[in-house]
């Protein structure tokens, strides 16, 4: 069987950036809850808490979309490499 040379189609970058953005958002959320005063119905308690809340609310959804797209592309490339799609 021939080796399938995969071109650089951006899958690795999507996985890297998506994972790092989700990780950053989760870290911001954990810091908000533990070190930065938490939050209530009206928002965060401190200025740093507001910043962490904004970072978490931006990074988690967008990073999840990037990560999902990267996983889908990785699965598709793996299927193509095995000869599943022609």
For 3-60, the DSSP string reads: -------SHHHHHHHHHHHHHHHHHHHHHHHHTS--EETTEESSHHHHHHHHHHHHHH
- List pLDDT tens digits, range 28-59: 999 999 999 998 889 898 999 999 999 999 99
Domain residue limits, the chain: 12-77
pLDDT for position 1: 43
CB atoms closer than 10 angstroms to residue 7: 7
* Higher pLDDT pick, 85 / 43: 43
Q: How confident is the model at residue 19 (pLDDT cuts 50, 70, 90)?
A: very high
């Amino acid at each position: 069987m021939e080796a399938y040379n995969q071109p650089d189609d951006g899958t690795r970058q999507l996985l890297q950036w998506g994972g790092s953005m989700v990780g950053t958002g989760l870290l911001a959320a954990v810091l908000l809850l533990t070190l930065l005063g938490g939050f209530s119905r009206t928002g965060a308690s401190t200025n740093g808490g507001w910043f962490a809340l904004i970072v978490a609310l931006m990074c988690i959804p967008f990073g999840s979309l990037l990560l999902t797209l990267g996983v889908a592309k990785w699965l598709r490339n793996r299927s193509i490499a095995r000869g599943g799609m022609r």
